[in-house]
Chain A
């Protein structure tokens, strides 16, 4: 997993609420193993028409937003299916941070496993950011995980909350597996106790 510390980059606004993971990556691509081609599949059916040509009206196809590394979305971004492919496709495209008023729970968790930072900010703040990005296409936004602050194109700073545990993991680019494996004795002890308390679960 790639570490995330701070990022200043062009940000792309996506105004629709309830953008589900089916829209982020359609189900027909899910049999593919994770790889760089997922960047091309991001928002596939919104980005390309029936003949595979780019739809000019989709925001990511507009010149100022093509190189965006930050996505500013609306309520309930990433709702629906648990497919981690949605985060893989964002990361493969180059999007490393998503700012929204709320996220689908499973998508939110998946982000931290892949090295993409989901940032929850108040709805009015996020709407303001999107307005600025529409008015100044290609304007940069800063997401600083160390300081836990987002800096908008207008220079306004908004701090955000993040679980210390997940923050630490992202800052170091370290997944949780090592941390869990360190606790093997505790897990084994737990299992012995559980086997005694709930013997009907033994198989």
Chain B
């Protein structure tokens, strides 16, 4: 029939229920993940008198509004987001992992952890970081409230077929270069709009060598490059991660599933609409300096000078960012002092992320307030079993309860105006971590390094020092 197909095409085509006018497709959605931000959508659905079409295709948790410290939620409006989530899911028969359940966590940590996320499926969630799940070789993307209501009622979405982009990263990663550095470097290169209208497939030997936690970090930030979805072809690493997880198939079903999953990787010679190649050897630990994730530089660099901007619009944008960030042109990045550190978020709150941060802080002391917020109750438990909580606490970190926390600040975990935060989250937007808060994005190891020195720091210098 057709010629060689990409991974994306192999997932897209079998999910088209019907073609609408003008190239819109009615796409079937296999699975839906929900979080506590979706409460009002349940209300609207009910007011419209519509039923949830397939409660069994949904899993839900609470992450955006949950407190990450002990004790309840003081604000009744915020508290009701969590209690209402509990009520709606209970009444509708939707599996829900709420506060007090060890499986509760950031929705993009919980889904893969439970084996709810599987290769070859379509998966959506009312959150732009749904791209995370593409690490398993599925088509996963974020949607708005109206689309969420539509999926709840019909298990389908009208979609325009995106274009396919391949980003190949090849070669061994130099020491100190984490998955976060790979994706920040990619975004810096293709820009915050570089992936708009595309699904990105990450390929190449560097990606193939990554663990699932690392692939999730990469796919997670696809939206920061403008792409609604990012994906990695499933392989033995994927299957080894999924085997035995709660929602994953078992026995004969597992055999059938893996046999099918092995057919998913793109065919030799499949054509992409856009291609980008990155040599991993050129990468270094990376931090952002501005208010868009594309404003990322190797830690050895300096703050850009607006005078060097290629045009007046860019000059104005750089000046505005420097003003918001409280930074002067040409300052070495390693001279920038930070006020606090956040290790967490759907980008970097998994066990390997916590291990990477703990390895840097072990035997050292933080000099600024620092938080470690595990991605789920199960991540927290696993980290504690390895003693990572002690490492963090002994270094002066706060070891907190799972949730989105300071990545989005909707639960009240925010910085103070003017505070500068070294953060493992995904967005350095104005006001993202609180009004007037200045965010520098980086890997867990780099954030840990900033915590123990009080400034942006090349983690390689600490590791060398420590032998």
A residues adjacent to B (C-beta < 8 A):
15-18, 20, 22-23, 26-28, 30-34, 45, 50, 74-76, 79-85, 87, 102-106, 109-110, 113-114, 127, 163-168, 175-177, 179-181, 183, 186-187, 190-191, 194, 197-201, 203
Contacts and interface: CB of A to CB of B under 8 A. Distances in A.
A82 B429 contact: no
B430 A45 contact: yes
A30 B313 CA distance: 31
A50 B417 CA distance: 10
Contacts of B37: 30-31
A30 B410 contact: yes
Contacts of B320: 16
B292 A18 contact: yes
B226 A79 contact: yes
Contact of A33 (B21, B40, B196, B260): B40
Given A76-B226, A187-B28, A201-B121, A106 B22 contact: no
Interface of B: 14, 17-18, 20-24, 26, 28, 30-31, 37, 40, 43, 56-57, 65, 77-78, 81, 118, 120-121, 126-128, 142-147, 149-150, 153-156, 158, 160, 162, 192-193, 196-197, 223-224, 226-228, 247, 249, 253-254, 256-257, 260, 291-292, 294, 313, 316-317, 320, 408-410, 417, 427, 429-432, 435
B433 to A, nearest CB: 10
| Centre residue among B143, B146, B197, B435 by max chain A CB count within 10 A | B146
Contacts of B432: 22, 27
A106 B128 contact: yes
Contact of B431 (A45, A79, A200): A45
B20 to A, nearest CB: 5
Nearest to A20: B429
B57 A203 contact: yes
A80 B417 CA distance: 21
Contacts of A183: 17-18, 26, 156
| Centre residue among A80, A104, A183, A187 by max chain B CB count within 10 A | A80
B30 A22 contact: no
Contacts of A175: 146
Contacts of B43: 33
Given A31-B78, A81-B128, A104-B226, 15 more contacts: A34-B40, A76-B226, A80-B429, A81-B427, A104-B196, A105-B196, A163-B160, A168-B21, A180-B153, A183-B17, A187-B26, A191-B28, A198-B120, A198-B260, A199-B253
Contact of B145 (A26, A84, A164): A84
Contacts of B121: 201
B39 to A, nearest CB: 8
A118 B292 CA distance: 22
Contact of A187 (B127, B154, B227, B435): B154
A80 B142 CA distance: 10
A201 B30 contact: yes
A203 B56 contact: yes
B144 A82 contact: yes
Contacts of B24: 163, 165-166
B106 to A, nearest CB: 15
Contact of A113 (B22, B146, B294, B313): B146
B97 to A, nearest CB: 15
Given A82-B128, A104-B196, A187-B155, A74 B56 contact: no
A197 B417 CA distance: 54
A82 B226 contact: no
Contacts of A23: 429-431
B353 to A, nearest CB: 22
Contacts of B22: 163-167
A20 B81 CA distance: 24
B144 A106 contact: yes
A146 B43 CA distance: 34
Contact of B154 (A32, A33, A180): A180
B164 to A, nearest CB: 14
B427 A22 contact: yes
Contacts of B118: 200-201
A106 B142 contact: yes
A180 B193 contact: no
